[in-house]
Amino acid sequence: MRVAALSLCAAVWAATAPTWADSPARVVSINVCTDQLAMLVADSGQLVSVSQLASDPRISAMTEQAARYPANSSRAEEVYLMRPDLVLAGSFTARATVDMLRRLDIPVAVFDPAYSLADVRDRLVQMGDVLGREVRAAGLVAEFDATLESLRDAAAATPPRVALYYANGYTSGENTLAGQILDYAGLANVATEQGFAAGGFMPLEVLAMATPETVITGSPYRGPARAEEIKSHPVIGVLQRGVPRARLADRDWTCGTPFVLRAIADMTELRRALQEDAQ
């Protein structure tokens, strides 16, 4: 199962189909999620720069590939000097940056975050459309669907109850991409039980009273951070109960890319470990 997910993630960097005649020749991405989608879909030489965040191993699943491109700081002045035919941005990219680029007559394609597994397909298709790489995108979607189906596993009638807990006590419920990853892996999400279907800040007391079978935390930031302190609270340690793999790799969960398949594989392994512990 884990091998199938990794196989797709290797395949997405394979040879690509020919470029359409009307596709943009110089593309700059200024968002970590569009960075990765563009690196997967773009033709050779079409993508000329990605954001600095694409090289951050904590939130980017494609740091090695990102090293092949000049990095930008996502500022309009810098991007303008790169003479792009198209800029790729996220809907949470600074509005002033997007507006300035458009005032300079530079086309900007804005991508919404992925809130579901279906959105992963949609973002790939959207990237194929804006880059003139529809055939390449369709191939990636087909690979994604095939591997997703191969990861489908018969879960127990009573799925283990887990909680996602990030910096500042933020959690993700069923109406989020992270929530759908848990559901697909056969895990029950405590956040949804506690009324956080769309995510939100769950007080530590609420988490403790919910008594999940384990708490899944994100990768720690480098250096001290007050936002991270809650994840090292003794209550979290007690709730995790020493269960292996109770920490997610943020880079596979952050963006709606085919790398979410690795997250599903990880969470399926966690679910099996919890079920074994319960026997």
Taking only the tens place, the pLDDT of each residue in 101-158 is: 999 999 999 999 999 999 999 999 999 999 999 999 999 999 999 999 999 887 667 8
What does the alpha-carbon distance between residue 120 and residue 140 come to, in Å, rounded to a whole number? 10
CB of 207 closer than 8 Å to CB of 190? yes
Residue 188 has pLDDT above 80, yes or no: yes
74: in domain: yes
Answer whether residue 156 is part of any domain. Answer: no
Using the 3D structure, point to which of 149, 173, 204 is the last residue of a domain. Answer: 149
Q: What is the CATH number of the domain that holds 170?
A: 3.40.50.1980
Q: Which range among 14-18, 27-31, 37-41 shows the weakest confidence by mean pLDDT? A: 14-18
Average pLDDT over residues 77-83: 97
Is residue 240 domain-shared with residue 201, that is, in the same domain?
Answer: yes
12 Cβ contact list (under 8 Å, min separation 6): 40, 140, 143, 258
- Name the more confident of 220 and 262: 262
What domain range is 131 assigned to?
Answer: 2-149
Sign of CA dihedral 176, 177, 181, 184: positive
192 plus 98 within the same structural domain: no
pLDDT of 6: 46
pLDDT of residue 223: 66
Q: Which of 124, 149, 174 is the last residue of a domain?
A: 149
Residue 270: C-alpha distances to residues 59, 152, 160, 176, 206 (Å): 21, 15, 10, 19, 23
Q: Give the pLDDT of residue 10.
A: 46
Are 250 and 138 members of one domain?
A: no
Q: What is the pLDDT of residue 18?
A: 37
Q: Are residues 145 and 186 in the same domain?
A: no
* pLDDT (0 to 100) of residue 12: 46
Per-residue pLDDT at 14 exceeds 70: no
pLDDT score for 49: 98
Residue 51 in domain: yes
Q: Are residues 111 and 140 in the same domain?
A: yes
Q: Which residue has the higher pLDDT, 136 or 4?
A: 136
Asked whether residue 13 carries a pLDDT value surpassing 60, the answer given is no
DSSP 38-91: HHHHPPTTTEEEEEGGGG-TTT-S-HHHHTTS-EE-S-HHHHHHT--SEEEEET
Same domain, 132 and 176: no
- Domain identity same for 14 and 125: yes
**Bridge partners (DSSP) listed for residue 164:** 216
Inform me whether the pLDDT recorded for 234 exceeds 90. Answer: no
- The answer to whether residues 181 and 256 belong to one domain is yes
> Do 138 and 171 share a domain, yes or no?
no
